[in-house]
Amino acid sequence: MVLCLYFKSIVLVHKSDVLILGSGIAGLTTAIQLAKLRSDISITVVSKTNIEETNTKYAQGGISAVWNHEIDDFEKHIADTLDAGDDLCDPKIVKLVVEEGPKRVQELIDWGTNFDKNNAKNNYDLAREGGHTEARILHYRDLTGAEIERALIEKVAQFSNVKILEHYYAIDLLTQHHLGYNVTRITPDIECYGAYLLDLKSLDVETHLARITVIATGGAGQIYRSTTNPVIATGDGIAMMYRAKGVVENMEFVQFHPTSLYNPAGDNPSFLISEAVRGFGAVLKSKDGNEFMQKYDDRQSLAPRDIVARAIDSELKARGDEFVCLDCRHLDKEEFIKHFPTIYNKCKSVGIDPLEQMIPVVPACHYLCGGIQVDENGKTSIDRLYAGGECTSTGLHGANRLASNSLLEGAVYGHRIATDISNHIDQINYNTQIPEWNAFGTTEPKEMVLITQSIKELKDIMSYYVGIVRSNVRLKRALDRMHLLYSETEELYNLTVLSPQLCELRNLITIGYLVTRSASMRKESRGLHFTTDYPDKHSFKQNTLL
């Protein structure tokens, strides 16, 4: 084998008081709120592509919050969240997020976000989604995430102490391990001193020192063949946390959205047909036009996602069909197009008029409920390290996230993390002993096919064996195959020069392994985790900590 190693001698050490990995709702809310509180500290926000390319940008349905107190109250939103979470939510965290929700949504509005209004009364138009007993979703057409991301990007640009680094890839967190200590999962007081960042344009690795680091790197949908998540969603932050020996939990709870557009061409990502479409009156039917959700739940098409996705999976297996359908033909055409212009246009672009024909849909991986364990202020098990947004396990979602609670969680935690950092950063100094990245440089991989093929294999393993319905045999098969992929990839990583593609592959394998191992550890069916070997729920609540 020809190894392409070359030496780089440039000194690449940078510093910021606070280093935020990620520019979605969690990362940017943290940056804005912190910059407002502390104009005296330097903040760097890192994005591995351009600043707006985030899961946040693709959010369609909206953000949930108790808004109309004539029909809704905190108790109802709390009860819906707990019910969806199938007894694994932390009630204290649910209460905290729900009660802070309206203030954070108001803040998004104050920072320039537009939400649709109801013309008659000039009130916000509140939508309903699965699992919500009231209409409480604020939205901007079917482009809510793009609108929020636009407003946050414009707002953050107003602060001179915030620097945005686009096309920088965080490789690993800096800890005592980089000072030569043997850090294990039981080492107390692990500390984070920043991160190694790969400049994707020059392919230089920078040592970025920080007094405090925040992981806000989003989800990991790319471990599956079919996902609504953009290609950036490779679970990097969670994998870095695991490598740094921090605590990660509840990884078995992967949410499959019931209705992604059936996509025989295998487009990545799959296009989402928002749950708000069902909230608007669309009905799930089999290909032959018969409703089936009444067999599974009284709430029918608007049952929580885990129930609807499993029902579709069961119908597809029983009938041998490739897809089920979403029937919108009875809905008001003008109103439909007004509310869902992106969905309407996408359907038209693939030859389906949703007001004339049923839309073919299938479940697709959509959201990771587990992740980096954090407390109510976003503090992780590692000192000087916070985490917020989809990469975390806060206790809000439990075993299944309630629709539109994710943007809310990102905004609430972004605010809380910023406040906590502002109160504690003065007691923390840089650690300047961290060595620079080892001298070997980085380059584009010579054997790209090894990486792309391994990614494909991982996605196949996860899709066949760790999908909506699991079993002991399937999970074991997945773990066995993943071990081989893991050792091949580590060998590649140790022998060849670093590349972003190889880093992503390593992270995807780590996430696939964590999901599969957590699923193997949970000997019951609960929320999004269903296994034919243990179809019942246990009466005790158990977290899977890794």
Q: Cα separation of 60 and 345, whole Å?
A: 14
196 contacts ligand FAD (rule: CB under 6 A): no
220-254 CB burial, b ≥16 within 10 A, e <16: bbbbbbbbbbbebbbbbbbbbbbbbbbbbbbbbbb
Q: Toward ligand FAD, which CB reaches closer, 23 or 400? A: 23
**R_g over Cα of the chain:** 23
275 touches ligand SIN (CB under 6 A) = yes
Q: Nearest approach, Cβ of 213 to ligand SIN (angstroms)? A: 27
| By the rule CB under 6 A, 380 interacts with ligand FAD | no
Contacts of residue 359, defined as CB under 8 A and 6 or more positions apart, other chains included, come to 259, 261, 273, 325, 326, 328, 347, 352
Decide if residue 54 touches ligand SIN (CB under 6 A): no
> Is 305 tagged catalytic?
yes
The CA distance from 421 to 417, in Å, is 6
d(CA 124, CA 122): 7
Tokens representing 18? 């606070």
Please report whether residue 55 would count as binding ligand SIN according to CB under 6 A: no
- String marking each residue 404-433 x if it binds ligand SIN according to CB under 6 A: x-x---------------------------
Q: Which stretch binds ligand SIN (CB under 6 A): 156-164, 167-175, 399-407, 438-446?
A: 399-407
Residue from 30, 61, 89, 128 touching ligand FAD (CB under 6 A): that is: 61
Of ligand FAD, ligand SIN, none, which one does residue 370 interact with (CB within 5 to 8 Å by kind)?
none
Round to whole Å and give the CA distance between 274 and 253.
20
Tell how far CA 439 is from the center of its chain: 34
Sole window of 338-346, 398-406, 463-471, 534-542 interacting with ligand SIN (rule: CB under 6 A): 398-406
User: Is there binding between residue 47 and ligand SIN (CB under 6 A)?
Assistant: no
405-424 helix and 91-110 helix, angle to the nearest 10 degrees: 90
Are 448 and 496 in contact by the 8 Å Cβ rule? The answer is no
Contacting range for ligand FAD; rule: CB under 6 A; set: 15-23, 205-213, 322-330, 521-529: 15-23
Q: How many CA atoms lie within 13 A of 50 on its CB side?
A: 5
Q: Any idea what DSSP says for residue 379? A: B
Among the listed residues 141, 305, 310, 481, the single catalytic one is 305
Question: What token pair was written down for 258?
Answer: 């019931």
Here's the x/- map for ligand FAD, 410-429, by CB under 6 A: it reads as x-------------------
CB of 113 to ligand SIN, least distance (A): 16
The yes or no reply on residue 393 touching ligand FAD (CB under 6 A) is: no
Task: Give yes or no for residue 280 binding ligand FAD (CB under 6 A).
Answer: no
Number of residues that bind ligand SIN (CB under 6 A): 9
Binding-residue pattern over the window 363 to 392 for ligand SIN, x denoting contact by CB under 6 A? ----x-------------------------
Question: Of these partners, ligand FAD, ligand SIN, none, which one is at the site of residue 174 (CB under 5 to 8 Å by kind)?
Answer: none
Q: Which stretch binds ligand FAD (CB under 6 A): 22-30, 421-429, 473-481, 524-532?
A: 22-30
Query: What amino acid is encoded at 288 in this protein?
Result: D
The nearer residue to ligand FAD, 54 or 531, going by C-beta atoms, is 54
- Give buried/exposed letters for 50-79 (b at 16+ CB in 10 A, else e): ebbbbbbbbbbbbbbbbbeeeebebebbbe
Q: x/- string (CB under 6 A) for ligand FAD, residues 142-181? A: --xx-----------------------xx-----------
Q: Please, what sign has the CA dihedral across residues 393, 399, 400, 401? A: negative
Our CA dihedral for 214, 223, 145, 54, rounded to 10 degrees, sits at: 50
Mask of contacts with ligand SIN, 235-274, x by CB under 6 A? ---------------------------------------x
Site for ligand FAD in 198-237 (CB under 6 A): 216-219, 228-229, 232, 236
Nearest by Cα to 46 from 202, 198, 154: 198
Q: Which of 96, 276, 358, 503 binds ligand SIN (CB under 6 A)?
A: 276
Contact mark string toward ligand FAD, 331..370, x via CB under 6 A = ------------------------------------x---
Smallest distance, Å, CB 204 to ligand SIN?
Answer: 37
Distance CA 464, CA 442 (A): 34
63 to 82: interface string for ligand FAD, x by CB under 6 A = x-------------------
Distance CA 22, CA 370 (A): 18
Q: What are phi and psi of 269, to 5 degrees?
A: -80, 170
Indicate which of ligand SIN, ligand FAD, none lies near residue 228 (CB less than 5 to 8 Å, by partner kind). ligand FAD
Q: Which among 55, 366, 21 has a CA at the least distance from the CA of 223?
A: 366
Please report how close the Cβ of residue 239 comes to ligand FAD at its closest, in angstroms.
9
What CA–CA distance (Å, rounded) separates 29 from 113? 13
Please tell me the total number of residues recorded for the chain in this structure. 546
What does the buried/exposed string (b/e) look like for 499-510 if buried means 16 or more CB atoms within 10 Å of the residue's CB? bbebbbbbbbbb
The option from ligand FAD, ligand SIN, none interacting with 26 (CB < 5 to 8 A, set by class) reads ligand FAD
Residues that bind ligand FAD (CB under 6 A): 21-27, 46-49, 54-56, 58-63, 144-145, 169-170, 216-219, 228-229, 232, 236, 272, 367, 389-390, 404-407, 410
Residues with catalytic annotation? 305
